[in-house]
Amino acid sequence: MKILLVEDDIDTAQFIIKCLEQNGDSVTHCTDAEQGMLNASIHSFDVIIFDRLLPGMDGLDAVRILRKSNVLTPIIMLTALSETAHRVAGLNVGADDYLVKPFAFSELYARLTALARRQPLLQQSSDLRLKDLTICRTTRKVTRGKTQIELLPKEYQILEYLILNKTQLVTKTMLLENVWGFHFDPKTSLVQTHVSRLRNKIDKPFSCELIKTVRGHGYIISE
């Protein structure tokens, strides 16, 4: 794998770099958010490891900027902040996974490889269509009719998953597992908040509602 590591703690960075290189992976290391964002924007990586607490700029802000700049590389955030609210904040800005320090390298590596395996899915050339809604899976361009719709990474992943399972009930648990990679319920409104934002973009401005709530069970997307 080709990995970008944005970590200002030298001991932690050296530990991660040594372990990754022993596995045959290539690592580019940056010690601040600005350099990390620059590298993420101009070079291609399989996965990005982004520390949460960085000098000059919070990692959350950096990840938010990358996602708004359409950098879609999977990102795992590292932090010493262990509360659920902190993990949710990282996921809300567009991170794909979140690992609390201290951690075992074996767990970090398992998460990195899982994120890297998702990449081929993003390269599928076939478009997805439902009524007047179209998703180009190569560019992640979403349109409804003649209107182009800008979605954040998690909003896009939710929409793609719903359409791949169109006319079927998609539960909160299914979204947590397939969009966030969670195998537990964080006991927050994470899913509901993202689905609400998605509906405001692809349903609210149009006459026909595509995403329907099955109260107490989940969601269905259909014509």
pLDDT tens, residue by residue, 59-96: 888 888 888 877 888 899 888 765 666 667 767 778 88
pTM over 0.85? The answer is no
Residues 5 and 26: their CA atoms lie apart, in Å, by 10
Residues 113 and 109: their CA atoms lie apart, in Å, by 6
Residue with tokens 């990195």: 112
The percent of residues above 70 in pLDDT, for the chain, comes to 91
Residue of 36, 31, 44, 102 whose CA lies nearest to 73 = 44
Domain with CATH 3.40.50.2300 in the chain: 2-122
Residue 66 neighbours by CB distance under 10 Å: 24
Residues 202 and 148: their CA atoms lie apart, in Å, by 10
Residues 52 and 97: their CA atoms lie apart, in Å, by 12
Confidence of residue 101 (pLDDT cuts 50, 70, 90): confident
CATH 3.40.50.2300 fits 2-122, yes or no: yes
| 114-156 pLDDT per residue, tens | 888 765 444 444 688 999 999 987 778 899 998 999 998 889 9
* CATH class of segment(s) 127-221: mainly alpha
CB 25 within 8 A of CB 3: yes
Residues 200 and 65: their CA atoms lie apart, in Å, by 22
Residues 192 and 168: their CA atoms lie apart, in Å, by 18
Task: Please classify residue 85 by burial: count the beta carbons closer than 10 Å to its beta carbon, then call 0-12 exposed, 13-18 middle and 19+ buried.
Answer: exposed
Look at the alpha carbons of 86, 48, 172, 190 in this order and tell me if their dihedral is positive or negative. Answer: positive
Domain with CATH 1.10.10.10 in the chain: 127-221
